[in-house]
């Protein structure tokens, strides 16, 4: 039988690898233009499919039956073919409810703003109401379809306590976008973004910087996939299946990003980690030099530090957009906020914290080619490194010991 995901554009999707990790069937990404959707459903040559943007409501007229939950919500993300009859269900509900529990967000009595008016927003509204939210409002650019505008949300609902983003704003490949600034809501307690690619959107990065509970949508995606698989096959999967696959996919999709002072061992350790994990290793300074067609000192000489930093930002923006690599960054890579955001979206940032006394100036580093420059850099940059890092790594041991420590930290994160 055929199983897969229906959508119009699916380059961002992780669904194939998630479903195939279950080991129950082959799963494919089925991209259909709107004019093709009806013919596909009419053929009924599949055992089960999931449904994503923009078809979660569009598919309903083609179905023979809706589950009570899908009927109440008015959106379908799972279709099961039962002896030629198409049953529409909504496993996003269970996925989002599980994500909220995992994030530690209690919606009882809270004012919840749901960003978006598509099919997933209807699911989010149902989840919020069933969780006992006091007020639930949907927010859209137009303010139509029973929603309020973004302007009204900020002006009239600054006491909102939870934001749920169901829009594609900030999704790969347009990862620099953010639908609204959570700082505009001083009573806010938490932010959940159903986007899972990138792993950390600008919205949740901003929420984390504000000290709020926050999460992206990967756990929701995995949980709804497990529920859909059970509906497709009739199987009952082990209780820990969603958590296990979530951890596996997160690890697979993350970059390990090494940050720290020049001479802290990022390149040596990066190559060692790449060898142990089988992942590609990328030295960002090497990419900058290759793109420029000249060495780092030559770039500094011709364009100054500002010119080099602009080139560096462009490279980090490209490398940070996708995951699965070991990245060794230049010493100044995280000085710009835009670079930190680009690296964080799919990366675990690890600070190689080598003491100043163990750092050695070298002539190929224009900003650290003598001990005085090195000391000034260290004093200025260390607070930035510590604020940017997800974890600090003691590099007093051998590179092999440090690599093993990082791998243990990563697998248990």
- What pLDDT score does 397 carry? 87
Domains present along the chain, CATH in parentheses: 3-89 (3.40.50.10860), 94-216 (3.40.50.720), 254-411 (3.40.50.300)
Higher pLDDT, residue 212 or 12: 212
- What confidence tier does 22 reach under pLDDT thresholds 50, 70, 90? very high
The yes-or-no verdict on residue 245 having pLDDT over 70 is yes
**What pairs with residue 257 in β-bridges?**
327, 349
**Unique residue bearing structure tokens 């092999």:** 400
Q: Determine the distance from the C-alpha atom of residue 191 to the mean position of all C-alpha atoms in its chain, rounded to a whole number.
A: 13
CB atoms within 10 A of CB 21: 17
The answer to which of 229-233, 249-253, 367-371 has the lowest mean pLDDT is: 367-371
User: What distance in Å separates the CA atoms of residue 143 and residue 152, rounded to the nearest whole number?
Assistant: 9
User: What distance in Å separates the CA atoms of residue 138 and residue 116, rounded to the nearest whole number?
Assistant: 6
Catalytic (active-site) positions: 56
Find out whether 242 and 223 touch, Cβ atoms under 8 Å. Answer: yes
Q: Which of 183, 135, 136 is nearest to 158 (CA)?
A: 183
The yes-or-no verdict on residue 363 having pLDDT over 80 is no
The yes-or-no verdict on residue 193 having pLDDT over 90 is yes
Query: Mind listing the pLDDT tens digit for each residue in 69-90?
Result: 999 999 999 999 999 999 999 9
pTM (two decimals): 0.93
- What confidence tier does 358 reach under pLDDT thresholds 50, 70, 90? confident
- What pLDDT score does 364 carry? 61
Half-sphere exposure of 78 (CA within 13 A, CB side): 26
Percent of the residues in the chain that have a pLDDT greater than 70, as a whole number: 98
- What pLDDT score does 369 carry? 67
Q: Which of 290, 285, 284 is nearest to 319 (CA)?
A: 284
Q: Which of 110, 116, 119, 112 is nearest to 89 (CA)?
A: 119
User: What distance in Å separates the CA atoms of residue 36 and residue 345, rounded to the nearest whole number?
Assistant: 34
CB proximity list for 161: less than 8 A, separation 6 or greater: 110, 111, 112, 185, 187, 188, 189, 190
Query: 143: burial class by Cβ within 10 Å (0-12, 13-18, 19+)?
Result: middle
Rg of the chain in Å (alpha carbons): 24
- What pLDDT score does 367 carry? 67
State yes or no: cis peptide before 276, omega within 30 of 0: no
């Amino acid at each position: 039988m055929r199983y897969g995901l229906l959508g119009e554009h699916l380059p961002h999707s992780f669904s194939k690898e998630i479903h195939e990790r279950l080991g129950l069937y082959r799963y494919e990404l089925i991209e259909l233009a709107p004019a093709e959707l009806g013919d596909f459903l009419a053929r009924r040559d599949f055992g089960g499919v999931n449904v994503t943007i923009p078809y979660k409501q569009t598919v309903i007229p083609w179905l023979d039956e809706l589950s009570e939950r899908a009927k109440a919500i008015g959106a379908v993300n799972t279709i099961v073919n039962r002896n030629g009859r198409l049953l529409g269900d909504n496993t996003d509900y269970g996925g989002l409810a599980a994500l909220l529990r995992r994030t530690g967000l209690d919606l009882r009595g809270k004012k919840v703003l749901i960003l978006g008016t598509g099919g997933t927003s209807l699911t989010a509204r149902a989840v919020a109401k069933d969780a006992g939210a006091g007020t639930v409002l949907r927010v859209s650019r137009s303010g139509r379809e029973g929603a309020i505008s973004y302007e009204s949300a900020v002006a009239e609902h600054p006491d909102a306590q939870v934001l749920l983003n169901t829009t594609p704003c900030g999704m790969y490949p347009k990862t620099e976008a953010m639908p609204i600034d959570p700082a505009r809501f001083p009573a806010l307690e938490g932010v959940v973004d159903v986007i899972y690619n990138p792993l950390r959107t600008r919205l949740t990065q901003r929420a984390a910087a504000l000290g709020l509970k926050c999460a992206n949508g990967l756990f929701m995606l995995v949980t709804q996939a497990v529920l859909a698989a059970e509906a497709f096959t009739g199987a009952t999967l082990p209780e820990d299946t969603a958590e296990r696959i979530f951890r596996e996919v997160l690890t697979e999709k993350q970059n390990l990003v090494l940050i720290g002072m020049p001479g802290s061992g990022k390149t040596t350790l990066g190559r060692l980690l790449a060898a142990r994990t089988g992942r590609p290793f990328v030295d960002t300074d090497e990419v900058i030099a290759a793109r420029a067609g000249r060495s780092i000192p030559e770039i500094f000489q011709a364009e100054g530090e500002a010119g080099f930093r602009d080139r560096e930002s462009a490279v980090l923006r490209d490398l940070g957009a996708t995951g699965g690599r070991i990245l060794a960054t230049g010493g100044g890579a995280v000085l710009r906020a835009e670079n930190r955001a680009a690296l964080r979206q799919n990366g675990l940032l690890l600070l190689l914290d080598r003491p100043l006394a163990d750092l050695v100036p070298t002539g190929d580093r224009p900003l650290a080619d003598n001990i005085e420059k090195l000391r000034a850099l260290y004093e200025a940059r260390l607070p930035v490194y510590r604020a940017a890092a997800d974890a600090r790594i003691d590099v007093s041991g051998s590179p092999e010991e440090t690599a093993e420590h990082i791998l243990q930290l990563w697998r248990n994160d």
